[in-house]
Structure 1
Amino acid sequence: MAKRGPYGKGQAKRKEILMAALEVFAAEGYRGTSLRKVADRCGLSLPGLMHYFESKEDLLTQVLRMRDETARLRHPEHTPETYRRIVREGTATPGLVELFVSMAAAAGDPRHPAHGHFAERYPVIREQVAAFLRVRMDEGGMRSDVPPERLAALFVAVADGIQMQWLVDRSMDMEQPIGDVMRLLRPAGVPAEGEGRC
Structure 2
Amino acid sequence: MPALKWPAASINKPPGVAIEGGNTNLELPSLNRYGPKSRWIEIYSTSNSSSSYKVESDIWVNATPLNGTIKAPGDTADQRVLLSINWETAPIGKTSSKVKITAGSTTATITLPIDNSQISEAYTGFVESNKTISIEPEHYTTATSSSTASYGIIPGYGRTLSGVTLLPITADSQTPPASPKLS
TM-score (norm 1): 0.23
Larger radius of gyration: 2
Which protein has the bigger helix share?
1
Which protein has the bigger strand share?
2
